[in-house]
Structures are given as structure tokens and as C-alpha cells.
């Protein structure tokens, strides 16, 4: 599932190809993709509008239109966005296509079809879910973290995944953040000491920003991989590495499940 660093890559790589473009046609191949309108209404609303900004909040992307309306996109498990020339063969599961006045197409591909697009007119309440998000990782203060975590009996991993507490962290980076903070993801929130909370507070934005840097790719590489080149896990220390040696101490990493989610940690390095 694309998490904050991957969604940020989509935004930075595609921005130059999207911002300033006018939508001349739109096609919805999978009606349920448009979450809050019938597809034909969605198409009518956005056709002729120019995209003025492309922003991200947590794992949500927003296309801002010149009328003040905006389109929110959530990629969920398997959604990807690419910009292609119209003659390029369509990938299987191309669920939505926006054609720009320069002839290029913004294509939304999603094999599982869980991703959503929403249209909101100027002044209309955003009901996509992004209005309920907690702060971005870089905006979390130590006091805020203490308030949200230190009275909870829930596992730290589950708290990090809660988008209402912090926006954008998913299964991969929750494990990486816990490893870097040297805290087991299974620990109850209220068991964390102040030094541990401080390490967590430091590592949350550090890990997220590092992976934003790792994932930054030129448009050509992004396009060749159909928007999936950012899913490069060569820099992951623990996620997906259960039973493999810890990069720090060499002991085999422990694989477990926390709140239905697979989790990996080092029983030696993380207390």
C-alpha cells in the first residue's frame, strides 16, 4: 500500500505534467471509483476545468481546479497514477482517465479497485476522510505525541497506524520507525518512558523524510515502471525481513501480527 513517502513521490513526479493542464475529456471505466457522485456527473463537473495545484495530505492527493472545486484521490492498496501519451496502450484495470488539452492523459490504474476519487464544489464540505486526519509527521510535537499515546493501552504499532493520530504512516514505516526508535511495536502506548517518546518523536519525521528522498525518481523511470518504481524497498531495515538477520546486531528479526497487521522487529535492538 502506498504510504506517505510513496504518495509524495506521485505528487512531486507528476506535478509538472498536471499543473496548468485543462481537462478536455474524462472517462470512468469503473463507476465505483467515483465515491460521491454518479460518474457522468463527475465527468460533467470536471470537464473544461484547469488544474491549478496538486497537493498531498497524509495519503490523500488533491487536484485543485480553477473554479475552487477540488478532486480528492486515495490510492488505497494498489492504485497508481501515470501520465501517458494517448497512443500508449492502456494497462489492465485503467479505471479512470483524464485527457488534457495538450493531448496527454492522467491515468488511474488499480487492480483491486479499492481506491476512490471524490469531487467537491467550492465551499462544499470535504467528506473524503482527509478532514479527520491527524497532523503530518513533520508537524507532530512531543506534547501532542505524549497526549495521544501515553494514556493508551493499545500497541504502539496500532497507534502509529491510526490516521487520526498522525497522517500518512502505514504498515511499512510504522515498523521502520519503531526499529529506529529502538522500541518494540508490541509495547502498549502507556508503557513508553519519556526518553522513548522523545526518540519516537525524532524518528517519525526523520524516517518519513528519508524515504521521501530515497523514493525520488525522474519522471522517465517513474513512467517506465507505470508509477510503481517508488515501491523500492532496498532501504528497509525490518519491514518484510522477518527471520533475516538484523542489520544492526545480526540476530534474526521477529515476525509477528499486531492488530491483524504483519509486523517485524528486532528483539535484541528494540526494547
Catalytic residues: 2-3, 59, 261
Per-residue interface string for the shown chain with Zn ion, residues 170-209, x marking contact by CB under 5 A = ----------------------------------------
Choose between 98 and 266: whose C-beta lies nearer to Zn ion: 266
- Give yes or no for a contact between 116 and 66, defined as CB atoms under 8 angstroms apart: no
In the region spanning residues 212 to 271, those forming contacts with Zn ion, defined by CB under 5 A, are 246, 248-249, 266, 268-269
CB of 179 to Zn ion, least distance (A): 8
Per rule CB under 5 A, count of chain residues that contact Zn ion? 6
Please report how close the Cβ of residue 175 comes to Zn ion at its closest, in angstroms: 13
User: How far apart are alpha carbons 34 and 75 in whole angstroms?
Assistant: 12
Nearest approach in angstroms of CB 246 to Zn ion is 3
CA–CA gap between residue 52 and residue 97 (Å, rounded): 18
Q: Which is nearer to Zn ion, 55 or 235 (CB)?
A: 235
Residue nearer to Zn ion on the CB measure, 46 or 178: 178
CB of residue 215 to Zn ion, shortest distance in Å: 25
> Which one, 204 or 246, has the nearer CB to Zn ion?
246
Q: DSSP letters along 205-254, please?
A: HHHHHHHHHHH---HHHHHHTTT-TT---TT-SSTT-TTSBPTTT-PBPE
Strand, coil or helix: 59 = coil
**Residue whose beta carbon is closest to Zn ion:** 246
E-only strand ranges, 155-214: none
User: Residue 100 belongs to what H/E stretch?
Assistant: strand 94-100
Kindly state the smallest distance separating residue 249's Cβ from Zn ion, in Å.
Answer: 3
Taking the C-alpha atoms of residue 239 and residue 247, their distance in angstroms, rounded to an integer, is: 12
Positive or negative torsion for Cα 169, 137, 162, 59: negative
CA-CA distance, 167 to 178, in Å (whole number)? 16
Cα 253 to Cα 152: distance, rounded to the nearest angstrom? 26
51/253 with CB nearer Zn ion: 253
Question: How far apart are the C-alpha atoms of 144 and 131, rounded to whole Å?
Answer: 18
User: What is the binding site for Zn ion (CB under 5 A)?
Assistant: 246, 248-249, 266, 268-269
Amino acid at each position: 500500500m502506498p504510504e506517505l513517502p510513496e504518495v509524495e513521490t506521485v505528487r512531486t513526479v507528476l506535478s509538472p505534467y498536471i499543473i496548468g493542464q485543462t481537462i478536455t475529456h474524462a472517462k470512468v471505466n469503473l463507476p465505483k471509483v467515483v465515491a460521491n457522485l454518479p460518474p457522468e456527473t463527475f465527468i460533467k463537473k470536471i470537464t473544461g476545468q484547469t488544474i491549478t495545484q496538486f497537493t498531498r495530505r497524509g495519503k490523500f492527493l488533491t487536484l485543485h481546479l480553477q473554479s475552487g472545486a477540488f478532486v480528492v484521490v486515495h490510492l488505497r492498496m494498489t492504485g497508481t497514477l501515470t501520465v501517458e501519451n494517448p497512443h500508449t496502450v492502456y494497462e489492465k484495470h485503467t479505471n479512470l482517465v483524464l485527457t488534457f488539452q495538450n493531448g496527454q492523459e492522467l491515468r488511474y490504474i488499480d487492480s483491486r479497485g479499492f481506491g476512490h476519487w471524490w469531487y467537491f464544489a467550492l465551499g462544499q464540505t470535504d467528506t473524503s476522510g482527509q478532514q479527520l486526519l491527524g497532523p503530518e509527521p513533520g508537524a507532530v510535537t512531543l506534547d501532542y505525541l505524549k497526549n495521544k499515546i501515553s494514556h493508551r493501552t493499545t500497541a504502539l504499532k496500532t497507534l502509529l497506524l491510526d490516521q487520526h493520530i498522525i497522517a500518512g504512516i502505514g504498515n511499512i514505516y510504522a515498523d521502520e520507525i519503531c526499529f529506529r526508535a529502538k522500541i518494540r511495536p508490541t509495547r502498549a502506548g502507556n508503557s513508553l518512558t519519556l526518553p522513548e517518546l522523545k526518540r519516537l518523536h525524532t524518528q517519525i519525521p526523520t524516517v518519513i523524510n528519508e524515504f521521501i528522498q530515497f523514493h525520488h525518481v525522474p519522471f522517465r523511470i517513474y513512467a517506465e515502471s507505470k508509477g510503481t518504481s517508488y515501491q523500492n524497498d532496498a532501504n528497509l531495515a525490518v519491514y518484510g525481513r522477518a527471520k533475516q538477520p538484523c542489520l544492526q546486531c545480526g540476530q534474526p528479526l521477529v515476525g509477528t501480527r499486531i492488530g491483524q497487521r504483519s509486523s517485524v522487529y528486532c528483539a535484541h535492538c528494540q526494547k
